[in-house]
Amino acid sequence: MAKQILVTQATLPPFDEYVDEIRSIWETRWLTNMGEKHETLRRELKDYLGVEQIDLVVNGHMALEMSMQALKLKGEVITTPFTFASTTHAIVRNGLTPVFCDVNPQDFTMDVEKLESLVTDRTCAIVPVHVYGNICDVEGIQAVADKYGLKVIYDAAHTFGETYKGYGVGSFGDVSCFSFHATKVYNSIEGGAVCYRDAEFGQRLRDLKNFGIHDAETVEAVGANAKMNEFSAAMGLCNLRHVGEQIAKRAQVVARYRERLAGVPGVQLCPIDPRVTSNYAYFPVVFDEKVFGASRNEVYAALTAQGITPRKYFYPLVSAFDCYRDTYDPSDTPVALYLSLRVLTLPLYPDLPLEDVDRICDIVIGCQA
């Protein structure tokens, strides 16, 4: 049987290191509720990400959902359909109305040229998504937000540790939300973070994530439960020590992919932005079947037949989901629709051997007519 290669592989620290990190939990019996691990990780991430303020939550989705709630948004939110389900679901679950902006065909982030035309008197916020590690046009988005007095909440799940013009990506907009899911460049098993500047927003977020409890006898707000536990925080602390070397290994894998696939007719790779320090989160390839000679689905089938599991990421488009099909028309965002039908993210993780990358590329190139 052919060797199985999955699209990603969770990054783990050395086993003994994690055991040492959690040993003190057996001594304190403090398992959750913003314990020592939680607070240490929060401080270290604040420095690593270069942000003014940060809070930790149970996962990246709750980072988005509670941030929107803490901003007290009402009305319409402009976002992108070329994203994971979480982005749009967070908007809808807050009683807000998503308005989909198309993406640009180069880096697949929100097309700022189409953004302003979607602003109405009901628009309250913009929720752009940094896609595959490609950072949005933060200046252009902020200019539109400032012109109309809109909040900006970035879905930064794909951009942990990245910088743009020397600034941490989490420092843009009113809020930036990260995911620390097991499949991400950096993980805390499950987890997420919210980066922000406004102190009042921070207090509302803390109320929302911990039942509105301020002390043992004071509950000042109606909140939920979205705290990160101590075991996840401990994993986050361990993985943070190694994330630099893990990103460097990812860079080597991406370099080999680019060496093999750049210039192949009908294969589109993401551009390299010299203003960005990349985390090499994903390696998306867009196949133009008329030029390449095979469709994305045919390439997918050829790889899976050899035990290799790429991902059609993002397919289907959010606006094509069953739950939104009667509300939105995917053809309203033609670039996003085009990409969703042709994009494939190839396997990428730090310990992926380069000979396996070559094997994957051989299969892809072999699909040409």
Same domain flag for 224 and 255: no
- pLDDT interval class at 121 (50, 70, 90): very high
Instruction: Give the domain-ending residue among 190, 213, 238.
Output: 238
Same domain flag for 212 and 265: no
DSSP 23-90: HHHHHH---SSS-HHHHHHHHHHHHHHT-SEEEEES-HHHHHHHHHHHTT--SEEEE-SSS-HHHHHH
Q: What is the CATH number of the domain that holds 313?
A: 3.90.1150.10
% of the chain beyond a pLDDT of 70: 99
Cβ(145)–Cβ(151) below 8 Å? yes
Same domain flag for 252 and 204: no
Mean pLDDT throughout 219-226?
95
Name residue, tokens 């990260």.
Answer: 178
- pLDDT interval class at 3 (50, 70, 90): confident
Q: Give the chain's mean pLDDT.
A: 97
Instruction: Give the domain-ending residue among 238, 273, 303.
Output: 238
**193 domain-assigned:** yes
Per residue in 122-168, pLDDT (tens digit) is 999 999 999 999 999 999 999 999 999 999 999 999 999 999 999 99
Rounded Cα distance between 133 and 131, Å, is 5
Rounded Cα distance between 239 and 11, Å, is 8
Same domain flag for 36 and 174: yes
Instruction: Give the domain-ending residue among 184, 209, 238.
Output: 238
Q: Which two tokens stand for residue 41?
A: 């990780």
Q: What is the CATH number of the domain that holds 228?
A: 3.40.640.10
Cα torsion 261, 134, 275, 348: sign = negative
**362 domain-assigned:** yes
Rounded Cα distance between 243 and 185, Å, is 8
Per residue in 246-296, pLDDT (tens digit) is 999 999 999 999 999 999 999 999 999 999 999 999 999 999 999 999 999
Per residue in 23-56, pLDDT (tens digit) is 999 999 999 999 999 999 999 999 999 999 999 9
Cβ(155)–Cβ(131) below 8 Å? no
The parent domain of residue 144 ranges over: 15-238
Same domain flag for 278 and 209: no
Structural domain tally of the chain? 2
**3 domain-assigned:** no
Model confidence, pTM: 0.97
Question: Would you say residue 1 has pLDDT above 60?
Answer: no
Same domain flag for 359 and 213: no
